[in-house]
Amino acid sequence: MSTSVYSRYRAAFAQALAGALGVPAADIEPQVKPADPAHGDLSFATFPLAKAQKKAPPAIAAQLAQTLQVPGLEVKAVGPYVNARFLPLPFTQEVIDGVRLAGVAYGSDAEDGKGKTVVIDYSSPNIAKPIGFHHIRTTFLGHCIANLYRALGWRVEGVNYLGDWGKQFGLVAVGFQEYGDPARIDDMAHLVQVYVQANKRAGEDPAFDEKAREFFRRMEANEPEAMKLWNQFRETSLKGFKRVYARMGIDFEHIEGESRYQGKMDAVIEQIAKKPGTKESQGAIIVDMPYADGEPPVLLKKNDGSTLYATRDLAAAEDRYARFNFDKSLYVVAQDQALHFRQVFRTLKEMGQPWADKCVHVPFGRIHGMSTRKGQVVELDQVLDEAKERVLQRVKENVAQGNLETADADALSEQIGLGAIVFGDLKHNRASDYTFDWDEVTSLEGHTGPYLQYAHARSANVLRKGGGVPTAYDPALLTLPEEQALVRELMRLPDTVKAAAEQYEPSLVARLLLDVAAAYSRYYTAGNKDRDKRILVEGNDAMRAARLALTDATRITLAAGLTLLGIPTPENM
């Protein structure tokens, strides 16, 4: 089933309006908006028609409302608006059955992106360097955006474009001779320490800095000894990264890096030399194109002949188009690199690449204040470890108090810790900065991952207590306002997935899930201290089956949404 219940009704309403007005439905559809919930579900404003019809908007609305007949919709004029409300039937059944039929694939639409390819460059940490907040955000955002596009039927080529080339290797290499312990060459944390020390030294000691540059030059010249050492560092870091990705359930289609373009950059520079042209500037080679006042030029080679980040990104963009023939190529990278990407894309355009416009920088803001008990974060693993540790304490307390039964407190804490960190990030608008707070993200209450995981587990628990998912139920029994409100939240996932993919904005899905959980919670608890009884009604099997079916649809929607965000969904917590 490819269209959402919501969009089907909206299309039917627009079609009927268009018929009555004698205009194409495509003109009307964008003007059908969500209604004020007090007045219905869909709303059409008649103001724009007043002039042509020489009538007051309320009169136009009243007349339209009288003539429209749309199955499943109750149409009414409210002032200048024509409003439509979904009749409880068949609407309730369409939503619940749609969710239950789709299962965890609810929200997906394999037709949407059929035959299209998106390349997503995300995570892309630097080898032998401490990770920054931006690697954390790009990893979570990129993973979710990849999931969203996959759900919409796109072929996704996720690329982890490792920062595995550049002068920093020179620093690690020469630093290793001085500060390194050869026995620990396979210890990522050790390499990061060496890098930090060497980087500091280079700032104070020009001769040391020159040695590092020299080492990188040897790498670019493909000298076997330099390459051997580089490869060892790379393997060490990669092993560490892969452990974290496995922990998070992230599987890249491609793990490659800047080093892939070693020896291939002269060809790109030659191509640029033809169009738009290159020129020399203080011994370096730059792209010859107009630059705005004060804008630094795009550097292709430094005066010592070594290549740069931009040179490699230009080579990589061409390579990706050649390999994947993409319809879109996304770069999920911090806002700080906006100028870099603007210039890379502009260079591609000046080169005459017709696909340059398909490249999109998906920027994001900063995380402030993320540090662990061990101090400043150098590995994502540390963040996940600490989240797990903090959660584990609480899980153990709950088990001891008899509030929770779990066979494996450790595994459960891992899942909740992950949910805390990932949701704590994805709930924020991509573009905004936020301040990280351990207590806030790991809390079981409020707008958190653990709260959603708990809502999911609770609905699973209600189903277990109720004897499992009902096969038959009567949707006509679901007439409570809280039930109708909940169904309306469940309905939103498919359209939200589309909007989130189009805007590269996982927070839309995150916030919808909070709305779903809140609506379920209101339903579950409203006016009833004996909570389970609201759903597990005694002595009325029909009512109980209907409420369990709605609970099942809620559980599935939460599971589907959390899975898209990259968050595990334990059944019991």
Q: Which residues bind ligand ARG (CB under 6 A)?
A: 121, 124, 126, 161, 163, 313, 331, 333
What is the rounded CA–CA span in Å between residue 51 and residue 32?
A: 19
d(CA 505, CA 564): 12
Residue 296, H or E segment: none
Of the two residues 169 and 438, which places its CB atom closer to ligand ARG in the complex?
A: 169
Residue number with CB closer to ligand ARG (42 or 136): 136
Nearest approach, Cβ of residue 285 and ligand ARG (Å): 20
**Residue 78 Cβ, how far from ligand ARG at the closest point, in Å?**
51
Least CB distance to ligand ARG at residue 164 (A): 9
Helix, coil or strand: residue 205:
coil
Q: Which is nearer to ligand ARG, 331 or 523 (CB)?
A: 331
Q: Which is nearer to ligand ARG, 127 or 248 (CB)?
A: 127
123/333 Cα distance (integer angstroms): 8
User: Among residues 548, 475, 556, which one has the least CA distance to residue 106?
Assistant: 556
145 - beta bridge partners? Answer: none
CA distance 537 to 548: 10
User: Which CB, 121 or 414, lies closer to ligand ARG?
Assistant: 121
**Least distance in Å: CB of 130 to ligand ARG?**
11
Q: Which residues pair with 120 in a beta bridge?
A: 158, 330
Smallest separation, CB 331 to ligand ARG (Å): 5
In this structure, the number of other CB atoms found within 10 A of the CB of residue 369 comes to 10
What amino acid is encoded at 530 in this protein? Answer: D
Q: Which is nearer to ligand ARG, 309 or 434 (CB)?
A: 309
Query: Across the chain, which distance is largest between two alpha carbons, in Å?
Result: 87
Least spacing, CB of residue 134 vs ligand ARG, in Å: 7
Residue 329 C-beta: closest distance to ligand ARG, Å: 10
Kindly state the smallest distance separating residue 532's Cβ from ligand ARG, in Å: 49
Q: Choose between 163 and 419: whose C-beta lies nearer to ligand ARG.
A: 163
Closest CA to 242 of 119, 389, 375, 123: 123
> Toward ligand ARG, which CB reaches closer, 161 or 169?
161
Pick 169 or 331: Cβ nearer ligand ARG: 331
Q: Which amino acid is at 326?
A: F
Give yes or no for a contact between 180 and 190, defined as CB atoms under 8 angstroms apart.
yes
Residue 329 or 442: the one with the smaller Cβ distance to ligand ARG is 329
Quote the least distance from Cβ 449 to ligand ARG, whole Å. Answer: 25
With contact defined as beta carbons under 8 Å apart, do 427 and 511 qualify?
yes
Gap between the Cα atoms of 563 and 557, Å rounded: 10
CB of 203 to ligand ARG, least distance (A): 19
- Do residues 454 and 416 touch, judged by C-beta distance below 8 A? no
389-395 long-range CB contacts below 8 Å, 24 or more apart?
A: 389/413, 389/417, 390/417, 390/438, 390/442, 391/416, 391/417, 391/420, 391/442, 391/450, 392/417, 394/442, 394/444, 395/573
Question: Of the two residues 112 and 121, which places its CB atom closer to ligand ARG in the complex?
Answer: 121
- Closest approach, Cβ 353 to ligand ARG, in A, equals 16
Contact 77, 65 (CB under 8 A): yes
Q: Specify the DSSP element, H or E, that contains 106.
A: none
Q: Which residue has the tokens 């290159």?
A: 278
Residue nearest to ligand ARG (CB): 163
Where do the DSSP E strands lie in 386-515? 434-435
